Structure 1
Amino acid sequence: MVRKIKVTPGIGSTSLLIQHSELFIQDVYIDKPQLLLIQNGSMTVHYQHQEVSLQTGEMLVLNSGQTLGLTHQLSENGPFSCAIMAWDNALLTDAGLHTPAFKPPLITVDHLQVIPHVPGAFRQSFIDTHNAILWHHGLPAPITRHRMLEQLLWLSQLGVRYSLQHSESMTQRVRELLVNNLHKAFTAAEVAEQLMMNEVMLRRRLAAENSVLRNLMIDVRMTHALRLLQCTDLAISHIAHQVGYESGSRFAERFRKRFGFAPTAIRGHLRAQSVHSPITSDVQ
């Protein structure tokens, strides 16, 4: 299997996450509404002093703007893997799936919702859409948008929808600015200027949300690096450079301090393969 991410600006992303080591990953920020299909292994989600477990073949609906702990467990069939689809927040609003024109949902997902019994037609639609976007070159953006919206319609048929996020917190605004400019070493004054306020006000508003700008800068870079480690086969040195570190050893040190394990722990015994392995409808 080959890890991969495909981002379609203004619409969302699809990715294939593969992890070869069982690790507890603490405080993972969810920046976009997501739908996950567990392909192999199992996963435990830690949130608000609770734990939710998912098995192979189950789906997880995650809303954005929250921080979770995640444990990915391997199976005797191989490493943990899951297919992920994420929507840009604006797309959910534009799609109008929250209007009365759609069947009133039984569950509005503020945080997360497990779908243990996925209808076969929904599963196949998700798999086909995920594979088409991830592996087929040249899929037009309008078709990508249409097919990703179809998955939201399937959720609505199951009585599940994402709650629309209210006004963004200052922490979320800073995160969005930083994640879109990972190469830039912002000063506090530059961040404040981008957000059209002075530095004192920025720090004060972040402090009110128990956030510190320097810590946010590090966390955004390390969280993005984690995603690249899980969902791409890029060399670790290349990932370090993508998140603004010229020194691979300095990056590894920061990563270990943030997550408690080395970047190499994610990849485990993975060996490069030349042929990709798309998702199939068979549950291992």
Structure 2
Amino acid sequence: MRPAFKISQMYGLQTQRLRNVAILTPSLFKIRSGRKRLFWQDDVLEFDSSTLLLTKAGQQLTFENEPSKERFLSAQMSFQRPPPEAMIELSITVNAQRTPSLKPSRSLMASLDFLFELDTDGLSETTQAYWLNGFYQQLAEVGKLHLLFDGHFVPFAQKVTELLQQTPWQGYQLDQVAAHFSVSRATLIRRLKDENTQFRTLLTRVRMNHAISLMQQGYRQQIDIAVRCGYQSQERFSQRFYKSFGITPSEYIKTL
């Protein structure tokens, strides 16, 4: 059964500076301890426990995570199911601005905390949608839902990304992925190009995000992390990580 949303956490014991971190699915971030400093367009936005960060799939974020009381901790809720189109239209009508921050009301935060604690195992997709749509409606009423979704559809690039996320270490080939979506290799390339991306770009972003996730889970041996991300060469993995985030794997591990 496909969950309507997934939850992950990120922590740090020292300041973490990362650039161009890909958001693979529409996501909401809640800071539990410390502060996140987001470099957004020509501005710098500050996030703490009183402010939520909302981002669409496909965005790349450059930020600093700053510990408080020796620890930074945030929770990410990744949404796998889009809201009804009418909710998105309502959100835009209420507030067309696109600054990705929200100071939630007490009731909205209570709904969010409920979802964070909700055990979705064994819940039908209909039941999950019931609870999630209630939260979507609250976001729409304060004009923030459209910060997560452009419309009631899942972009093709996101569908490909979700496939790659299942086994990021696998040696994916274009023909194999095209067959999964019942399209030709040329059609796969064209549809991704129409969304301003490429297959290799998506695969790299998935693998690099997976690398960070592994480090967050306690993996420390770089060759082990490299193999689990689909790289047979530690040097190649390290180069790709640095090119993606502006920091080496060793430097990132030192912040944990």
Q: TM class, shorter-chain normalised?
A: 0.7 to 0.9
2:84–2:152 CA contact under 8 A, matched in 1:
no
Structure 2 Cα separation of the partners of residues 108 and 201 of structure 1: 34
Aligned position for 1:20: 13
Deviations 1:14-35 (A, max 9, x none): 1222123323322222222222
CA separation of 1:146/1:20 partners in 2, compared to 1, >3 Å: closer, same or farther? farther
Deviations 1:51-98 (A, max 9, x none): 3222332112222232222222223x12221122221134x249x644
Structure 2 Cα separation of the partners of residues 169 and 154 of structure 1: 24
Aligned position for 1:123: 109
Code of the residue aligned with 1:86 in structure 2: it is S
Structure 2 Cα separation of the partners of residues 129 and 179 of structure 1: 23
Code of the residue aligned with 1:81 in structure 2: it is L
Is 1:225 aligned to 2:211, yes or no?
yes
Which stretch has the larger CA shift, 146-155 or 31-40? 146-155
Equivalent of residue 135 in structure 2, options 128, 137, 151: 151
Aligned position for 1:78: 70
CA separation of 1:210/1:151 partners in 2, compared to 1, >3 Å: closer, same or farther? closer
User: Alpha-carbon deviation of 1:185?
Assistant: 0.8
Structure 2 Cα separation of the partners of residues 166 and 138 of structure 1: 25
Q: Is the partner of 1:255 in helix, strand or coil?
A: helix
Aligned position for 2:95: 107
User: Alpha-carbon deviation of 1:167?
Assistant: 6.3
Structure 2 Cα separation of the partners of residues 168 and 139 of structure 1: 24
Deviations 1:149-194 (A, max 9, x none): 4432332343432343376666445433322342321223333444
Structure 1 Cα separation of the partners of residues 87 and 193 of structure 2: 35
2:28–2:78 CA contact under 8 A, matched in 1:
yes
Code of the residue aligned with 1:161 in structure 2: it is L
Structure 1 Cα separation of the partners of residues 236 and 157 of structure 2: 25
Structure 1, unaligned runs of 5 or more:
1-7, 271-284
Q: How many residues align?
A: 252
Structure 1 Cα separation of the partners of residues 214 and 87 of structure 2: 31
Q: RMSD of the TM alignment (CA)?
A: 3.6
Structure 1 Cα separation of the partners of residues 249 and 78 of structure 2: 24
Structure 2 counterparts to residues 191-270 of structure 1, below 5 A: 191-200=177-186, 202-203=188-189, 206=192, 211-230=197-216, 232-234=217-219, 239-245=225-231, 251-268=237-254, 270=256
Which stretch has the larger CA shift, 55-64 or 209-218? 209-218
Q: Is the partner of 1:154 in helix, strand or coil?
A: helix
Structure 1 Cα separation of the partners of residues 34 and 129 of structure 2: 29
User: Alpha-carbon deviation of 1:257?
Assistant: 3.5
Structure 2 Cα separation of the partners of residues 177 and 241 of structure 1: 19
CA separation of 1:93/1:248 partners in 2, compared to 1, >3 Å: closer, same or farther? farther
Structure 1 Cα separation of the partners of residues 60 and 179 of structure 2: 27
Structure 1 Cα separation of the partners of residues 132 and 156 of structure 2: 29
Q: TM-score, normalized by length of structure 2? A: 0.75
Structure 2 Cα separation of the partners of residues 217 and 160 of structure 1: 30
Q: TM-score, normalized by length of structure 1? A: 0.69
Aligned position for 1:190: 176
